[in-house]
């Protein structure tokens, strides 16, 4: 099954594509968060035949959810209702820091878009890894 990983931000959305068979996530271009966001995601769903979306849920280090998590849940629920697709939340604690560190280690540019994309890959890979165990 094809799955889409999402690192939701208020300005940009990092995206990753994965397959539950191959269990590998790859980055997709980061998109802007605007009025066309759901249309762009719908196009990705149709193009790649995506059946489920994995959305990173921001939690505090002690595992609690806060204001940003509420925003993320509301956004994901609206996406699910409008596009008729299943949503799964995946803990995204420290994903942006790990994304930054990973980009540094391979010598990639630390642009906000690259960090968002790498964070989406980490979120989705975490979900795929859980399926494998």
The domain tally of the chain equals 1
Tokens of 123: 């979120």
Higher-pLDDT residue of 132 and 77 is 77
Handedness of CA 23, 46, 118, 123 (dihedral sign): negative
Question: What's the pLDDT score for residue 98?
Answer: 64
Which of these, 118, 92, 93, lies nearest to 104 by C-alpha position? 118
Contact of 12 with 59, CB cutoff 8 Å: no
Question: What span, in angstroms and rounded, lies between the C-alpha atoms of 61 and 65?
Answer: 10
- HSE-up (13 A, CA, CB side) for residue 76: 24
pLDDT per residue as tens digits for the range 104-130: 666 666 677 777 888 899 899 889 988
Question: What DSSP string runs through 34-103?
Answer: STTHHHHHHHHHHHHTEEEEEEEE-B-TTS-B-HHHHHHHHHHHHHHHHHT-EEEEEE-TTHHHHHHHHH
Domain membership of residue 38 as a residue range: 2-132
pLDDT per residue as tens digits for the range 48-95: 999 999 999 986 666 676 678 889 999 999 999 999 999 999 988 656
- CATH number reported for the structural domain that contains residue 47 in this entry: 3.30.420.140
């Amino acid at each position: 099954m094809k799955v889409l990983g999402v690192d939701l931000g208020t300005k940009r959305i990092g995206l990753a594509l994965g397959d539950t068979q191959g269990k590998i996530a790859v980055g997709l271009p980061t998109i802007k968060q605007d009025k066309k966001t759901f249309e762009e995601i719908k196009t990705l769903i149709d193009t790649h035949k995506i059946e489920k979306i994995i959305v990173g849920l921001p939690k505090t280090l002690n595992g609690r959810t806060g204001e940003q998590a509420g925003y993320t849940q509301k956004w994901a629920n609206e996406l699910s209702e409008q596009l008729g697709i299943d949503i799964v939340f995946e803990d995204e604690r420290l994903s942006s820091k790990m994304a930054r560190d990973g980009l540094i280690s391979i010598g990639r540019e630390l642009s906000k878009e690259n960090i968002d994309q790498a964070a989406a890959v980490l979120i989705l890979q975490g979900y795929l890894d859980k399926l494998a165990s």
